[in-house]
Structure 1
Amino acid sequence: MLVHAINPWGFKHNRRVTRNNVDLNRNFSMTSDLFQIKNQGYSKIRSILEPDKKYSRWSLEHLTFLSNILGSIQKYSKSTLVQAIGEGQYEFEKGIIFGGKAFEEENANIADVLKRYCAPYDKIIIIDLHTGLGKRGKLQLLNAPKIPNLVKQQVNELFDNRVVDDSDDNFFKEHGSFLDFAWNMNKGKTCLPVMFEFGTINSESLYGALRTLKTMIIENQAFQNGCKTSQDKAYIDSIFLEMFYPKDTLGERW
């Protein structure tokens, strides 16, 4: 079964979040304890991640972003920064990677689909399909962040040992993952969750990773605060869509 878009509002408005600015892939959990999590690392660099003025390509914040973020890497370490940004945060409603303060309506909808359609089966494969991270034009297979190692091993065997090792500093362990939630809903069964990530932005390089982060920051800044000119808005729309809907055809033959 294919579920095309669990975030219809985001599809309509070209945003990767819900109408409440919630990143759905940080909003899934079996309990509401999720929303009590504090991301101390995010708080430390919040001023860089959440500019509080209208976006302009010629603003000081835009032009000095690279030096500011590299300074944070030097101060806190790259791995600390990657985790602080990637894991999600549950405090700042207008920030990036906001996981919400309660479960989103879209969350309940997909949970109902999982219950209904997984119930008759003892063996289940759940594929979460994304575009964005990774080498441009290359398919990466990634494990759910918090499933048991035995399940990770089974997933890797199923896909001919193509699953990426996510144990190094370039990967983060997010909270509120859809795949973790789907696996927990099907405990007691053979449930193998995996993410298919089609790379569009070469985020495995430092330049690509920083470019990705900057694009997410300024897209959110423009939505929350507006843009100074229509040219600024057109620029953001263009580079943001390119992250998820590239103009050229991408694909990899297995």
Structure 2
Amino acid sequence: MNPLFLFDYDQCKNRFLQYQTAIEKFWPDVDLRTFSLKDGTAMDFIHAAPHQADQLLIISTGLHGIEGYVGAAMLEFFMKEFVHKLNHEKTALGLIHGINSWGMKHFRKANENNVDLNRNFVWDWSDATTLQNNEYEELNSLFHPKAHFSNRARQSLSFAWKLGQTLYKKNQKFITRAVTLGQYKDPKGAYYGGKDYEKITKHLMEMYEALFSVYTSIILLDIHTGYGPKDDMYLVNSRYEYRTQADFTKQLGYPFIISTTPEKFYEINGDMIDYIYRLQQTTFPDRHLFATTFEFGTLGDSLYGQFKSLQATIEETDHYVTKRGSRTSIRRLFQKLYAPSDEKWQNKAVENAKQAFQGVINGFLL
């Protein structure tokens, strides 16, 4: 296994806390801010700034808890390979570890309330039409398996049969929208966005607003895993980003760039980066923003890959809310999807991250 990757929350957290001392070699003003969550976990934020700076680079991890392990590896890689390359007199740095630290510790994507935090950054909770997910409601039985089989092969066959029937009646795009858009009516279902802001969501909103009041330019890189082509990392830009894919490909020198639109990737309600763009556009229009997701693909976007991804998500959510099924077997598939231990995959992820980090530094920060 690549030594950058750790799969224990406490080990990742302890490694992150050591960054403060290392960063103090480059910046005169460094502080650690901690937002405590459940089970002794916490979101940790290291903020390092020169005496005068107008631009800030943020790298955030663990918005989807279990994905925080790959995020932690990328923070370690950034610290080893890139932190010394920044312009320390002009650029401030923010590193966020374990936004959903409870989910990270327990190898869940959602938090302790079964809320998907990347569906919780809702701009307007009164906008019922936007938050409606008719596709999810129509496929509700697919997301809530009534039968449970002790034999995993039979369970997979049952799910495959039901999914095949759904594909025959609908289509793949219909199912993808049902899954990824986010839903706000079924607290025991997958991709549940909640009824109101979670505490950590509110905290992050206040933090981003405070940072916009200080810096004229913010670059934010949010680390995720799971979706997209197998073994490649895509920069997934917000639908509110006005610059084109071609613009960024030229500026960053990175070939894999798409947007969160139904045509290019998939549409999301309550997305954190979308929220940050809307905050900038409505409240801080004189500020400059580039925020994107580093999305490391795992099982791939083929029909089989999407089948396994959907199966893992449904079984994991069902186990959490009903305690049915083997946690060991479910976690094995879930980790393969969101926190792969395969060294070949890890090495390729690091290779892609290296190219993208360098592109962001060259394109925005030098």
State the TM bucket, normalised to the shorter chain. 0.7 to 0.9
- Do 2:122 and 2:275's aligned partners in 1 also have CA atoms closer than 8 Å? yes
5+ residue gaps, structure 1, are none
Residue identity matched to 2:110: V
Q: Evaluate the alpha carbon distance shift between residue 67 and residue 24 of structure 1 in structure 2; reply closer, same or farther with a 3 A threshold.
A: same
Residue correspondences, number = 249
Distance in 2, matches of 1:227 and 1:55, equals 9
Larger radius of gyration: 2
Distance in 1, matches of 2:191 and 2:117, equals 9
Partner of residue 134 from structure 2, selected from 18, 40, 48:
40
Q: Tell me what 1:198 maps to.
A: 296
Q: Tell me what 1:214 maps to.
A: 311
1:133-212 mapped onto 2 (5 Å cutoff):
133-144=227-238, 146-150=239-243, 155-160=248-253, 162=255, 163-164=257-258, 171-187=265-281, 188=285, 189-202=287-300, 204-212=301-309
Partner of residue 118 from structure 1, selected from 212, 216, 224:
212
Distance in 1, matches of 2:264 and 2:148, equals 31
Partner of residue 185 from structure 2, selected from 78, 91, 94:
91
Distance in 2, matches of 1:155 and 1:114, equals 23
Aligned with 1:2: secondary structure?
Answer: strand
Q: Summarize deviations over 1:5-40 as a string: whole Å, max 9, x none.
A: 111111121111111111011110232235662211
Q: Tell me what 1:18 maps to.
A: 111
- Greater Cα shift, 14-23 or 75-84: 75-84
Aligned with 1:116: secondary structure?
Answer: helix
Q: Evaluate the alpha carbon distance shift between residue 171 and residue 63 of structure 1 in structure 2; reply closer, same or farther with a 3 A threshold.
A: same
Instruction: Identify the structure with bigger relative contact order (alpha carbons < 8 Å, sequence gap 6+).
Output: 1
Residue identity matched to 1:171: F
Give the deviation of 1:47 after TM superposition: 0.5
User: Which structure shows the higher strand fraction?
Assistant: 2
Distance in 2, matches of 1:167 and 1:113, equals 27
Distance in 2, matches of 1:67 and 1:9, equals 34
Aligned with 2:193: secondary structure?
Answer: coil
* TM-score normalised over the length of structure 1: 0.88
Give the deviation of 1:55 after TM superposition: 6.2
Residue identity matched to 2:338: F
5+ residue gaps, structure 2, are 1-93, 356-366
Identity of aligned residues (%): 27
Give the deviation of 1:125 after TM superposition: 1.2
